[in-house]
């Protein structure tokens, strides 16, 4: 995925479309899968309901 797809313009502000990993901190995004979101760096997994 390209970096510009992580952000969206909302008027004059920039909005992030992906979540950061709570363990790794800012700058490391969670990958979105069909039933979960995963961090490729530390392996943190958050399941969707």
Which residues are CB-neighbours of 37 under 8 A, at least 6 positions away? 19, 30, 31, 45, 46, 48
- The reported pTM is 0.74
Write the pLDDT tens digit of every residue in 2-48.
777 888 999 999 999 889 999 999 989 999 999 999 999 999 999 99
Q: What is the DSSP letter of 42?
A: T
Cα(8)–Cα(14) distance, rounded to whole angstroms? Answer: 6
pLDDT at 1: 61
pLDDT at 31: 93
- Hey, where are the domains in the chain? 3-47
């Amino acid at each position: 995925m390209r970096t510009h797809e992580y952000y969206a313009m909302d008027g004059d502000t920039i909005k992030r479309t992906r979540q950061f990993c709570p363990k790794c901190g800012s700058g490391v995004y969670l990958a979105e899968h069909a039933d979960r979101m995963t961090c490729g760096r530390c392996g943190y997994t958050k399941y969707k309901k």
